[in-house]
Amino acid sequence: MAQTLKVNGKDVTVEAEPGTPLLWVLREKLGLLGTKFGCGQGMCGACTVHINGAAVRSCLMPLAAVSGEVTTIEGLSSDNSHPVQRAWIEADAPQCGYCQSGQVMACAAMLKAKAQPTDADISAAMTNLCRCGTYGRIRKAVKLAIE
C-alpha cells in the first residue's frame, strides 16, 4: 500500500503494509536513522517522534494510523540549533547517546505544550529510559532548555 506522509516538512510517499510501525518506515524507507529502536513495545521511548507536535512512540504507531505532520530528530533543526538540542549539548547529557534523540524529542514536545513545566510535569513527560543512567544530566538539560 502506498501512503503519503508529511515528514520533516516534506511530502513523502512510502510503500509499506498498513500495519508497519512508523519507526520502521522512518528508518528503513526514509533513511531517518536518528529515531532508534529499543524495546519495540512502547516502554523505552528511544523511538519517540512528534506527530502534530506531540510525542509519540513510533514503534507502536501503525503507518495506516499516522495522520498529520511527523517530525523526527532530523527535522527538529538542521544544525542542532533547537533550544532543546542546545541545552543537551551544554549539559553534556548523553553517555552512549543511543536514547538521547528520543529524550530530546520528548522534552521538545513537553515544552511545546507547556513552556514552564513544573518538576511534576517534567517527571510525567520525561519517561524515556536511559540504560547509562544519565537521568541527572537529562534533568539538568531540561532545566536549561526551560530557561
Residues that bind ligand FES (CB under 6 A): 37-40, 42-47, 57, 59
91 or 130, CB closer to ligand FES?
130
Shortest reach from residue 60's CB to ligand FES, in Å: 6
* DSSP H or E stretch at residue 73: helix 73-76
Shortest reach from residue 65's CB to ligand FES, in Å: 15
Shortest reach from residue 59's CB to ligand FES, in Å: 3
34 or 42, CB closer to ligand FES?
42
Residue nearest to ligand FES (CB): 59
Question: Cβ(26)–Cβ(58) under 8 Å?
Answer: yes
39 or 89, CB closer to ligand FES?
39
DSSP states along 24-38: HIIIIIS--TTSPPS
